[in-house]
Structure 1
Amino acid sequence: MGTIFNITIDGPDSLTARKAAYKAFARIDQINLALSDYSEQSETWQLNATSPANWVAVSEDLGEVLKMSKAISEQTFGAFDPTIGALVQLWRRAKRKNELPGQRQIEEALAVNGFDAIVFDTTRLPFKIKYIKKGMKLDFGGIGKGYAVEEALKVLKAEGFAHSFVSAGSSIAAADAPASKPTWEFLLEDKNSGGPGINELIKCTNCFIASSGDIYQYLEFGGRKYSHIIDPETGEALTNGAFVIVTAPSGAQADAYATAFCVMEMEEIRRFLERNSDVSAMVWKKNGEVMEQLTFGQSFVN
């Protein structure tokens, strides 16, 4: 999934903790084989390469993430959309070549995105999927890590390690706090983002947290910073300097909401959070030359 996963376990026996960690990493590998678009062996990569016009069976993980993705896409009015894989690949090439994609290329990629470009049946196993528009590509970069850290944490809990913590760069899953501390805590910082810079000490127990923004991947061209996050409506990479931290009921939701909030306007985010009291967020976003900040919901920083 283009990142490094770390597992921390607080327990009395390092040998059994190590065995539990191996099982959790094996679960992450399983999810990677379903969702990654970096590996030619993954289901997602093969689906994108073949654009199946007829029903094909897919794994339970891929079906579940698709089902969640569609619900979150509807909830965020399309701001989160994993069907924009063609646009993501277009902007990745632009980053490698250090040049902006042409408008015609963007329009061609926009023409094959959207959930009307794909049909899936998740009502029974095995899940089935087919593409309506040839050239449509899936990209789970905005939800896959969150889903994976949560699933890994489930494995650790099932193995008897309630005091566990799983991270994958911008996605965090935390269970009970270490025995010697009241909570898990970690520093989220980057001197170049959020106006004067992000420097937040995150404290959480039994929670899922994700962050998103242009501190992770971006293209600098012509004096502007183009984020790796794409607006599904325009096909353009974001240039609003957005950075978001979200806590939500699940890892997948936290990850997807963090991506969506980078795209959504501040007032849209505020209305969303008012409707969904189980989601909290901190948002930094440029309005012209002014960096605006929104904090809504329970505090998870110090």
Structure 2
Amino acid sequence: LDTLLSAIVKNSLKIAKESEGKFDFTLWPVFRLWHFGTDSAAIPDSGKIDSALQHVDYQNVKIDTLSGERENLTQLHVPSGVELDFGGISKGFALEMARKELTKHGLRNFIIDAGGNLAIEWSKPDSVQIYVRHPRMEGEFWGQFPVYQSCGIATSGDYHFYFLEDGKRYHHILDPQTGYPVEKTASCSIVAPTSTLADGYSTAVFVMGMERGSQFIESRSELEGLMIYPGNDSLQTYLSSGLQNRFKRMEVGE
């Protein structure tokens, strides 16, 4: 593997292991059955999902570092039938590479925005205001919070690629254990030291749901997070301890 692909694989394995498979980059055989983002998006046959799930398990992917004459070589082992999909981490990884390249050339205090993912390089005394999209109202914001230092931020939501059937929303964030869309989360935003980690963890925590996801965030001092999830009659908000005194809920039209 080349250096960049090796880094993507290693980061993907790290997040998959730490999330106990809630982030799984071997999910492609199931994901492609749904045809999200196309006119043919529909609920797949359950038998096809069950069959595809037999090839889903990040633990089947192994990576070794071999010593070469001039440099260390990385070797990837992927069993037959296992297909890799780095869509849950690649945007964050690309942002992180861009941030490093810009800082290498002397740039400071900037934000790179890639539609829901941010790479922030910041050392000014004032803050950067982060706006969280409303998961059910296009063009509206759920709330905002400030950040004061360099970090990566990513949001995973059930509103990017989805279709409705019999009034139920079927979106593109699948549970690797069931092969079906996660039902108990609408949006998850993660603040992490790098954009790569923010991207992967936002997917993992989204899949975990509020109860387990909040425990996961609080157990890691390097993370902050915000989750929007269905309550009894309306959407509710979970805020990690570091965001509770910084977050401002916004009204429609604000």
Q: TM-score over 0.5 for the alignment? A: yes
Deviation at 1:286, TM superposition (A): 2.0
Paired residues of 2:30 and 2:53 also in contact (CA < 8 A): yes
Q: Report Cα offsets for 1:110-136 as digits up to 9, x if no partner.
A: 0111123322224653321132132x2
Q: For 2:30, what is the secondary structure of its paired residue?
A: helix
**How many Å separate the matches in 1 of 2:36 and 2:190?**
29
Q: How many residues align?
A: 240
Taking the TM superposition and a 5 Å limit, the aligned residue runs for 1:145-294 are: 145-176=91-122, 182-190=126-134, 192=136, 198-204=141-147, 205-287=149-231, 289-294=233-238
Answering whether residue 57 of structure 2 is matched by residue 114 of structure 1, we say yes
Q: Secondary structure at the match of 2:229?
A: strand
- Separation of aligned partners in 1, 2:157 and 2:43: 19
Question: What code does the residue aligned with 1:155 have?
Answer: E
Give the Cα separation in 2 of the matches to 1:60 and 1:68: 12
CA shift digits 1:221-271 (9 cap, x unpaired) = 221111110100111122334201110121111111110111103221222
Q: When you count helix as a share of all residues, which structure comes out higher? A: 1
Give the Å deviation of 1:155: 0.7
Distance 2:191 2:96 in 1: 13
* AA in 2 matched with 1:154: K
Q: What CA deviation, in whole Å up to 9, does each residue of 1:49-86 have, x standing for no partner?
A: xxxxxxxxx22111111111112111111111111111
- Structure 1 unaligned spans of 5+: 1-57
Matched residue type, 1:276: R
Q: Deviations over 1:189-226 (max 9, x none)?
A: 23616xxx742234323121110111222122221111
Aligned to 1:10: none
2:155 and 2:66 map into 1 onto residues whose CA distance is 32
Asked whether the equivalents of residues 110 and 235 of structure 1 are also in contact (C-alpha less than 8 Å), the reply is yes
SS of 2:31's equivalent in the other structure is helix
Letter of the 1:211 partner, please give it: T
Q: 2:39 aligns to what SS in structure 1?
A: helix
Is the 8 Å Cα contact of residues 88 and 139 (structure 1) preserved in structure 2? no
Q: Give the TM-score taking structure 2 as reference length.
A: 0.85
SS in 2 for 1:259: helix
| Structure 2 residue 104 is the aligned partner of structure 1 residue 104 | no
Amino acid at match of 1:165: I
| Equivalent-residue separation in structure 1 for 2:27 and 2:233 (angstroms) | 29
Distance 1:189 1:267, change over 3 A: closer
Partner of 2:90: 144
Q: Could you tell me which residue of structure 2 aligns to residue 62 of structure 1? A: 5
Residue type matched to 1:175 in 2? E
Seen in structure 2, the aligned counterparts of structure 1 residues 112 and 277 have a Cα distance that, compared at 3 Å, is: same
Instruction: Give 1:284 shift.
Output: 1.2
The structure 2 residue matched to 1:85, chosen from 23, 28, 41, is 28
Question: What is the match of residue 126 of structure 1?
Answer: 73
Q: Alignment identity in percent?
A: 26
Q: Distance in 1 between matches of 2:202 and 2:235?
A: 18
Q: TM-score, normalised by structure 1?
A: 0.72
RMSD after superposition: 2.4
C-alpha distance in 2 between matches for 1:68 and 1:271: 21
Contact 2:34 2:42 in 1 (8 A): no
Contact 2:226 2:238 in 1 (8 A): yes
Cα deviation 1:78-116 (Å, max 9, x = unaligned): 111111111121122685314210101111210111123
| 1:91 and 1:237 in contact (8 A); partners too | no
The one-letter code matched in structure 1 to 2:106 is G
